[in-house]
Amino acid sequence: DTEVTQTPKHLVMGMTNKKSLKCEQHMGHRAMYWYKQKAKKPPELMFVYSYEKLSINESVPSRFSPECPNSSLLNLHLHALQPEDSALYLCASSQAPQETQYFGPGTRLLVL
């Protein structure tokens, strides 16, 4: 079973809203990732959590705030986003940071 789930599938928000994206896996993976993907582009790494601790932050603006409540869950809190933040947000997980990553279906975000 290599299932990573993400909710919601679609999200429309205004620039003053606060929203959260959720990612969940029950494979016992100890590394989880957030990626941002613009149309017709490859995914860009945003954050890496390793054993529930933030290990990589790829200079992401503070309006994106990740959270890892436990080893199965990864959240991305959104606040005061800009229209250019509209994209597909992908979550992935792996057995360990060095292992193969498995992706969720993504959340399509539109910022108005």
Partner 1 sequence: AQTVTQSQPEMSVQEAETVTLSCTYDTSESDYYLFWYKQPPSRQMILVIRQEAYKQQNATENRFSVNFQKAAKSFSLKISDSQLGDAAMYFCAYRRGYGGSQGNLIFGKGTKLSVKP
- Closer to partner 1 by CB, 71 or 80: give it: 71
Bridge partner list, 3: none
Question: Contact between 66 and partner 1 (CB under 8 A)?
Answer: no
Candidate ranges 14-22, 41-49, 63-71, 73-81; the one touching partner 1 (CB under 8 A): 41-49
Figure out which of the listed residues 24, 25, 33, 36 binds partner 1, where binding follows CB under 8 A: 33
> In which element (H, E) is residue 90 found?
strand 87-94
Judged by DSSP in three states, 24 sits in strand
DSSP, res 80: S
Question: Contact between 27 and partner 1 (CB under 8 A)?
Answer: no
Judged by DSSP in three states, 25 sits in strand
Closest CA to 43 of 106, 110, 112: 106
Question: Contact between 76 and partner 1 (CB under 8 A)?
Answer: no
Question: Contact between 43 and partner 1 (CB under 8 A)?
Answer: yes
Question: Contact between 40 and partner 1 (CB under 8 A)?
Answer: yes
Figure out which of the listed residues 12, 15, 56, 112 binds partner 1, where binding follows CB under 8 A: 56
CB 25 within 8 Å of CB 3? yes
- For 16, the token pair is 């003053």
Query: Under the rule (CB under 8 A), what is the footprint of partner 1?
Result: 2, 31, 33, 40-43, 45, 48, 50, 55-56, 88, 90, 92, 94, 97-98, 100-106, 108
